[in-house]
Each structure stands twice: as C-alpha cells, then as structure tokens.
Amino acid sequence: MPQSRSSSLSSSNPANAPQVRHLKALGDDTWKNKVEKVNAEFFHLTYGTIVAQLCEEYAGDYARVNGELFQIGYNLGVRLIEDFLARTALPRCDTFLKTSEVVSKCAFKIFLNLTPEVAHWNAARDSFDLVFGENPLAEHVELPPGASGQLWFSNVLCGVLRGALEMVQLDCDVEFVSDTLRGDMSTDIRVKLNKVLRDEIPAGED
C-alpha cells in the first residue's frame, strides 16, 4: 500500500484528473438528486445559537467550548459516515490523496453543499489542508471580544472529520489552522494522517 501511495501522489497530477472529475460528478449528482434539503440559514442560525450558549455556559473558557464543539462533531461524524457510504457506495480509498478528494468533492458537497479546496500537501504526503474562502458556518457571525484567537467557531467540522475518518480506519488529527473570523485570509482545516488502523484489514493484505 505505501508503494502505491507514493507513486500516485508523485505530482499534483494530471493522471488523477479523470478520477477527480468522477468524484466531483458523483458528489454533484448525489447532492442534486438524492438529498432532502433545508435552508442553510436555519442551520447556521441553529449552530450559532449552540455556540453562543456554550460560550455563555463556560463563561469565556473557549478551550472548553472548542472541545465541546469537537465532541458534537465527533458524535455526528461517526454516524454521518454510514449515511455517506450508503448514499455513495464508494469503495475504500487506496490512497490518502483520494481520501482528500472524496472528503472535499463528495462529503462536503453532499452534506453542506460546499467544495473546499484541497491544498498544502506536506512532503510526506500525509497531511493536507481543506481551504474555505469564508468560514462556512459563520456567515453572519461576529466573535465576542476576547474570543478572537481562542474560539474556533466551526470546530464542529474538525470533530466530524475526525469521527468519520476514524470509522473508515484512518486515524487522523484534524484542526483549524486559520479562520477568516479571526482576520485570516482564508479558513483552513488541517487533516493529518497518523496511521491507518489495521484491525479490520484481513491478514495478508499487505
């Protein structure tokens, strides 16, 4: 498996273009035809209310708010992945590069109707960033004074990714590295692969 990874990752590669196009088509089609939709504003408003309540409850202890949001996301992620696999019937990703494209072109598209850009691969090819232009959950949000620099408003997304990827045997660290709410140029989530969990892979696979 490591061999195949390094070879197919060897460039930001045109070789993968058809595959990526296919994933994009799958994501778009599923979103268009197989998904019951709701106004995004309802969701944003609900999420914002939850974050506001947490900030109040924890009286400005934003590390705990981040943790709570992450936990909510984790709980969502471990269940959303089932829904995702049922809808798309996608097979196991053979490379982490493919995983990144599935996350951006299919998962984000189907659930949030967004397609973050995959960027900033590291040299070891086990870490990438998902780049959003604006913070996707915070269209009308203004952080309270003191929260800037501490609160990751959309931390729920990290939890979702962490939970969902864990369910498909990918142990990843997921965290925000920048946020337009904090005055950064873009909103970036970093996904770093720690290891591929082995327990469910039959012996002899390697």
Partner 1 sequence: MSQASVPGVANDGTGAVSQQRQYELEQEAMPKLNRTVFQMVLNEIIPMAYAVEVSKTVQKDETGEVAMGSLSLESTVPGDDNTAARRMRSSVMAVYNLAKLAEEDEDKYNSVLKRIESLGTSIGSKISDMLIFAKNPSISFKNMDLLSVMKFICRDVWKHVFGKQIDNLKTNHRGTFYLIDLDYAPIQDFTVEPSVLEEQLSEEDLQIYELKLVEPFLQFPVGIIKGVLHSLGHPLDKVVCLATYADKPKEKSKVGGFPKGINFHVQITNN
Rule CB under 8 A: is residue 37 a binding residue for partner 1?
yes
Answer yes or no: are the C-beta atoms of 178 and 186 closer than 8 Å: yes
Per CB under 8 A, contacts with partner 1 among 97-156 are 110-113, 156
- Site for partner 1 contains 41 (CB under 8 A): yes
- Residue 49 touching partner 1 (CB under 8 A): yes
What is the nearest approach in angstroms of partner 1 to the Cβ of residue 22? Answer: 21
d(CA 149, CA 123): 28
| Distance, CA of 196 to CA of 166 (rounded, Å) | 9
Quote the tokens at residue 16. Answer: 């993968």
83 binds partner 1 (CB under 8 A): yes
Among 20, 24, 28, 64, binds partner 1 (CB under 8 A): 64
Of 1, 35, 124, 201, the one binding partner 1 by CB under 8 A: 35
Question: 180 burial class (0-12, 13-18, 19+ CB within 10 angstroms)?
Answer: middle
23, 54, 55, 189: residue in contact with partner 1 (rule CB under 8 A): 54
Residue 10 or 46: the one with the smaller Cβ distance to partner 1 is: 46
Q: Which residues of 55-81 are buried (b: 16+ CB within 10 A; e: fewer)?
A: beeeeeebeebbebbbebbbebbbebb
Distances from the Cα of 125 to the Cαs of 10, 97, 180, 203, in angstroms? 9, 8, 26, 25
Q: For the chain, how far is it from start to end, CA to CA, in angstroms?
A: 7
Q: Is 166 in the site for partner 1 (CB under 8 A)?
A: no
The verdict on 189 binding partner 1 (CB under 8 A) reads no
Residues that bind partner 1 (CB under 8 A): 31, 35-43, 45-47, 49-50, 53-54, 57-58, 63-64, 66-68, 70-72, 74-76, 79-80, 83, 110-113, 156, 158-159, 162, 173-175, 192
